[in-house]
Structure 1
Amino acid sequence: MNIETASQAPGRLALDLEALLAPRSIAIVGASSNPEGYSSRSLTNLLRTGYSGSIYPVNPRHTELAGLPCYPSVGHVGQPVDAAILLVRGELVADAVRDCVAAGVKVITVCSAGFAEDGEEGQARQEQLVDLARTGGSRLLGPNCIGAFDVVENVVGCPTLNITEVFTPGNIAIVSQSGGMAVNLFNRAQGRGIGIRGVVSVGNEADINVADLIDALADDEHTKVVALFVEELRDVPAFSAAVAKAHRAGKPVVALKAGRSEAGARSSLTHTGALAGSHAVFGDVMEQLGVLEVDSVDTLIDSADLLSRVEPPASNRLLIVSPSGGECSHAADRATELGLRVPPLSARSIDALSADMRFGTPGNPLDLTGQVVGNAGYLADVLSELERDPEFDMVLYAIPTWGPHDAQRLLPGFIAAARSSTKPTVISAWTAANLTEHAESVLADGDAGHFGSVDAALTALSNLARWSRLRAAAAKAPPERLAGPALPRPGELPELPTEHQSKAFLRRQGLPVSREVLLADAAGAAGVAAEIGFPLVAKQLCAGVVHKSDLGLVRVGLRDEAELDQAVRDFAQIMAVRCLKPEGLLLAELHRGTEVIVGGIRDPRFGPLLMIGAGGVLAELLDDVVFRLCPLTREEAESALDGLAVGLLLRGHRGTGYDRDALVEIIVGFSELFAASDWLAQADLNPVIVADTPTGGAVIVDAALVLTPPTKE
């Protein structure tokens, strides 16, 4: 029975994962007798891999194909059909879908191209397919995809011959928006003996999308990890809900995104907009949702494999053990660069190891020296002692390029220790042609997590530690990210409000804003300054100018009336040279502390986003910003700050304390405001000054709001 799931819109049918991956009967529409042709490949794959279900070739020009009866249409089969694979020309697809729906096919895979990827007309044809499928209660995969195949149940009906012929089943599910990359990931994993549960190429995602698959795989008994290759996310709320469901099921989602280089700043009126590069946003949002993002195909495979084998560690404390001192040093350097900690051994371990260690001094990294070569018993004793050390939570055994002799004598000891360890433990063993093949065979047969280089092993371990942190944060995330009641567009705000107008609006919404007075001109400035008190800040507002400091229209720390008069004269000269129209002189109280930027932007895919980072004039100079979906919880605001240098600074150092709690209140409050104000296109609170005392507060001393132009009737 089809039911709605958490990631689906009301009225949308749930995905029947069995019908998609392991159908009991399959119709191949457009099956061909040409052994070299594309349309013959699904039938070829099913027959060569020994599919045990019913196969129904469909082609009105044949009565028999590959020894099987061939039917003029799916409706003529006369038996229940779980799934259909469409391999016909684009103009024939709609009729084929209509025929499948009438026959009660549960899942229709459209491999044909020529739809949304071909522009508006193709998009219209694609929407027609979805309407046809949903009318009859069918789900549609594609179009423009290679479909799905199941390794566990041996159902390989995809129309590509570029897949390995020896399958290793496992518990990693691959979901890809690219058919070619789906095959690449599968072949790469299988070639290294990494088991795969199944592969789904979603193509254009006309109906079945990435979120549907994560949602369904969260309930799948054969899946432990979901590995994604994505180019863009088309339904972020559904994706977020599906990932949350996977987290609740204890199943990591690991993602590799294409288009990482597309990070150029967009044209923008605010610092936040200029910093919102597409990949920066993607990576930060994945972090918030608890998706482990990686940066290469091999890292995706390695990390998914390790996550499928071991439980995440309690911390990122790593023990490194090697019979090579140089490798110990190299591994420690790389581990530190990847954010792993390499703490000293416990005093107990040092004492125990020192008794039998003839060369060197025991430590972490632990150089076993040449003493271990030819002495498997000594190795076993050392590894057993280290297993009891409480000072670390992960282990790397870094092995040099061993030939058959040393591999045969010593690798079994490392493998046994890795498999019996209660902590995540992996082996790196450098490969070299015509030397290490025996070692590689021993490691593969030992079924322990092993990698062909120290870098690969440490990258996987660092991602394992990241997943542990992401899982803990995801457990505190809200089940749904809901904005409060929509805030009406204030009638008094123009599309580009002045700083004073922007801050007045924020003040009315309950956010802390610096005390200030706006003067029409310099007349009366001395009296107002005396009331505010020196030192103070003077700003010249001008029509159309957002970044006043870039033009020299801001003076900070004016100490007396003489300095104020000089600032006013300087402002007048700048405006005259640049032909600027004055909109008032702003005098404000001076606040001292650490500068932070809090901004908002509306992303076409992710919706309202909050940006947090180092503020003031350094906002675009320092790579110290993070983006988050709005609205944020307090826990999410704290976590976002922990990922920033400025956030760690605000935790205090060398006896200095900051009112970080007050900043968190501003972040959470503004995220709720921005999420509820769909008429706000962009916003900068820059800087927010955080006092350098634990109870000194935080205050918004400058703000720029950009409103969305009102829709014309």
Structure 2
Amino acid sequence: MNEEETLTGTGLDAAGRQPLDLGALLAPRSIAIIGASGNDEGYSSRSLANLLRTGYAGRIFPVNPRYEELEGLRCYAKVSDIGEPVDAAILLVRADLVPETVRDCAGAGVKAITVCAAGFAEDGETGRNRQRELVDLARAQGSRLLGPNCIGAVSVTDNVVACPTLNITGAHTAGHVSIVSQSGGMAVNLFNRAQGRGIGIRGFVSVGNEGDVDVADLIDAFADDPQTKVIALFVEELRDLPAFKAAVAKAHRAGKPVLALKVGRSDAGQRSSLSHTGAMGGSHTVFRTIMEQLGVLEVDSVDALIDTADLMTRVPVPESNRVLIVSPSGGECSYAADRASELGLDVLALSEETVQALSRTMRFGTPSNPFDLTGQVIGNMEFLLEVLGELERAPEFDMVLYAIPTWGAHDAERLLPGFITAAESSTKPTVISAWTADNLTERGGEILADSSAAHFASADAALTALSHLARWAALRRGAGDASARSSVMPVPRPVELPELPTEHQAKAFLRQHGLAVSREVLLADPAAAPKMAAEIGWPLVAKQLCANVVHKSDLGLVQVGLRGEAELARAMEDFADIVAAQGLESEGLLLAELRQGAEVIVGGVRDPKFGPLVMVGAGGVLAELLDDVVFRQCPVTREEAAKAIGGLAVGRLLRGYRGTAYDLDSLIELVVHFSELFAASDWLHQADLNPVIVSETSQGGAVIVDAALILTPVH
């Protein structure tokens, strides 16, 4: 039994915390609305109005000492006066009244307390202290607190619409997508957008400040919820990464995808730019790659979030990203094929066997992918079903798009049922896109809405959702297993290393810990340069080391490919002029062997949220310009390193381009080894190994030819 099983076996959640009672939050048998009022236009009347309007079946207890009754219901002065169990309470009172109200609710045994008021952690240290007080009051009695500064929760499945807003759609369609949002407004927007398009939702929860109940709590709870198939997140930041990781792993074991729409993507000014790694390790870059490592699918728009989540509840997981495009319009075939390719889907040719089988059915035209049904389909349902059935049996693709043009009622009624039948019976992820046009395509929309087929209002939306589905399948197959990572023993801080070591000092430290670095010699006396250069061998690299200078090449202090004493002498003269002009402090001349191969950057940075991270990407002086990098939490396994490198453009180069392949295995081993060293060296703030030269296969492996380390200050 592993640690996680031991914890959950004791009634704790996947992160070892008291689990959330989802039933008390989304399916309460009774609800107290504290601060409810009779003002029809006021904020405090809306939760009661929503519950009555939607026909909530449980007991409702308005709580407000100013009233004896509201809407025909007895009104209580406080929750403890009710005299019977209350599952949930919605607090609509001012911030200064919240603490005593939470105390009363918790003392009365309320299981789930939702605090809608603002004026807590978002208001600075004083507000954070008030928020901690609320949480302590609730937890002392075994209650869980949602918020503060939130809009509460809605369950379509259980007909619980207790949130204090009137801006919520009136017609509700139940489904299997559960939404968790750190924004109350966006929780409602996502819900309304989905419901308005006929996308079924299980419910949503707005977590607000996450004083107690947080995103991880809800992922953990929805992982156990039989009504939830997909968990969709709207997040600004993750406040408890270990709990989040444990909850996501639990959801994946339950077969439930987790999707995320991240906002607040700006990286401006949040990190030190002393190293390339620090400059490129912006908050969203790190978030995106860590989500990939955990198997969380990140999307970039509201529609992509709800479209993809809905699609995941309707179709199986594809085996690959190979898609077949079928349309009665040749132009739409070409358009959809272009968009599919742009989105990273493979539109491969049909096999010879499939072409021959289809040729026996078609009267004219050559079968291909994309597949143009031509005018043969019009009015011939038997032909349509025969062709679509033959395509379903073809093994050379794993997803299907039926791309329909703007059909009016006549063609929609005659032809859409055939596509719907094929989509509903397919064993592969199959979707229908049907372009919409006001006053023309409404009947087609009704026919599609009455079916169980996954359908979209444009080929763009359909292909975007399919591309996300394929990416999720790849993430699911490659999500890292934290238990497979090696444990690391702490590495003590070397007393001789300054906070900003020279390249020579940095490489000596790396060499000491088993990493391959280039052969070099540091000279204090320039007169010894010709002799030492001959020993290293021409051509070589000359570098002028100076105190507190990290990017030597930016100042002209690196010269590569020197082929004799004359060139070396000129380089040394140039270095001397630059040092004098810049007022720099020389720390010696470094002569190093010249390595040939592909340039890669490997780096490390300590993120305040995600901890120690290793970065790998295209290296050299263009590292930041190319932006071909990926981050992973340290330490990484060999499998994680291989997958990370394989997803980069430089990874494709290393695997082999125009007959030249590089020693990828050596680079993978170097990344793994460095990630372990960086994780173990908590005093090491940032690191650049740039470039790492990866030689052609069997010609020398991966070698660090330049390195910069930044140590945390000693206080």
SS at match of 1:407: helix
- Structure 2 match to 1:421: 426
Show the 5 A alignment for 1:121-160. Answer: 121-160=126-165
Asked if structure 2 preserves the Cα contact closer than 8 Å seen for 1:483 and 1:676, the reply is no
Tell me which amino acid in the other structure corresponds to 1:4: L
Residue 654, structure 1, aligned to residue 658, structure 2: yes
Counting matched residue pairs gives 707
Show the 5 A alignment for 1:485-524. Answer: 485-524=489-528
Question: In 1, Cα distance between the equivalents of 2:235 and 2:67?
Answer: 39
Among 529, 533, 544, the residue aligned to 2:537: 533
Tell me which amino acid in the other structure corresponds to 2:235: V
Tell me which amino acid in the other structure corresponds to 1:630: C
- Structure 1 match to 2:4: none
- Structure 2 match to 1:604: 608
Question: In 2, Cα distance between the equivalents of 1:483 and 1:703?
Answer: 25
Among 98, 102, 106, the residue aligned to 2:103: 98
Tell me which amino acid in the other structure corresponds to 2:392: E
Using the TM superposition, give the Cα deviation of residue 264 of structure 1 relative to its aligned residue in structure 2, in angstroms: 6.6
- Structure 2 match to 1:387: 392
Question: In 1, Cα distance between the equivalents of 2:120 and 2:485?
Answer: 33
Question: In 2, Cα distance between the equivalents of 1:492 and 1:139?
Answer: 51
Residue 241, structure 1, aligned to residue 249, structure 2: no
Show the 5 A alignment for 1:432-451. Answer: 432-451=437-456
Tell me which amino acid in the other structure corresponds to 1:418: A
- Structure 2 match to 1:5: 13
Deviations 1:104-137 (A, max 9, x none): 1111110011111112211111111111112221
SS at match of 1:650: helix
Using the TM superposition, give the Cα deviation of residue 63 of structure 1 relative to its aligned residue in structure 2, in angstroms: 2.1
Residue 565, structure 1, aligned to residue 569, structure 2: yes
Asked if structure 2 preserves the Cα contact closer than 8 Å seen for 1:327 and 1:398, the reply is yes
SS at match of 1:319: strand
Question: In 2, Cα distance between the equivalents of 1:4 and 1:332?
Answer: 49
Among 682, 692, 696, the residue aligned to 2:700: 696
Asked if structure 2 preserves the Cα contact closer than 8 Å seen for 1:241 and 1:479, the reply is no
Shift in CA distance, 230/595, structure 1 to aligned 2, threshold 3 Å: same
- Structure 2 match to 1:430: 435
Q: TM-score, normalised by structure 2?
A: 0.97
Asked if structure 1 preserves the Cα contact closer than 8 Å seen for 2:653 and 2:661, the reply is no
Asked if structure 2 preserves the Cα contact closer than 8 Å seen for 1:324 and 1:400, the reply is yes
Tell me which amino acid in the other structure corresponds to 1:698: A
- Structure 2 match to 1:40: 45
- Structure 1 match to 2:466: 461
Tell me which amino acid in the other structure corresponds to 2:701: G
- Structure 2 match to 1:206: 211
Asked if structure 2 preserves the Cα contact closer than 8 Å seen for 1:690 and 1:697, the reply is yes
Residue 588, structure 1, aligned to residue 599, structure 2: no
Show the 5 A alignment for 1:396-415. Answer: 396-415=401-420
Residue 477, structure 1, aligned to residue 485, structure 2: no
- Structure 1 match to 2:667: 663
Cα RMSD between the aligned structures? 1.5
Asked if structure 2 preserves the Cα contact closer than 8 Å seen for 1:175 and 1:200, the reply is yes
Tell me which amino acid in the other structure corresponds to 1:145: C
Using the TM superposition, give the Cα deviation of residue 530 of structure 1 relative to its aligned residue in structure 2, in angstroms: 2.2
Question: In 2, Cα distance between the equivalents of 1:483 and 1:680?
Answer: 18
Tell me which amino acid in the other structure corresponds to 1:118: D
Tell me which amino acid in the other structure corresponds to 2:408: G
SS at match of 2:606: strand
Asked if structure 1 preserves the Cα contact closer than 8 Å seen for 2:280 and 2:627, the reply is no
SS at match of 2:703: strand
Question: In 1, Cα distance between the equivalents of 2:185 and 2:154?
Answer: 14
- Structure 2 match to 1:707: 711
Tell me which amino acid in the other structure corresponds to 1:3: G
Question: In 1, Cα distance between the equivalents of 2:268 and 2:167?
Answer: 33
- Structure 1 match to 2:5: none
Question: In 2, Cα distance between the equivalents of 1:17 and 1:460?
Answer: 29
Deviations 1:388-438 (A, max 9, x none): 111110000000000011000000000000000111000000000000000
Deviations 1:643-670 (A, max 9, x none): 1111111112333221111111111111
Q: Unmatched 5+ residue regions in structure 1? A: none
SS at match of 1:584: strand
Question: In 2, Cα distance between the equivalents of 1:418 and 1:550?
Answer: 59
SS at match of 2:176: strand
Question: In 2, Cα distance between the equivalents of 1:656 and 1:613?
Answer: 19
Show the 5 A alignment for 1:621-636. Answer: 621-636=625-640
Deviations 1:563-586 (A, max 9, x none): 222211111111111111101111
Question: In 1, Cα distance between the equivalents of 2:471 and 2:87?
Answer: 40
Using the TM superposition, give the Cα deviation of residue 263 of structure 1 relative to its aligned residue in structure 2, in angstroms: 5.7
- Structure 2 match to 1:177: 182
Q: TM-score, normalised by structure 1?
A: 0.97
Among 608, 611, 618, the residue aligned to 1:614: 618
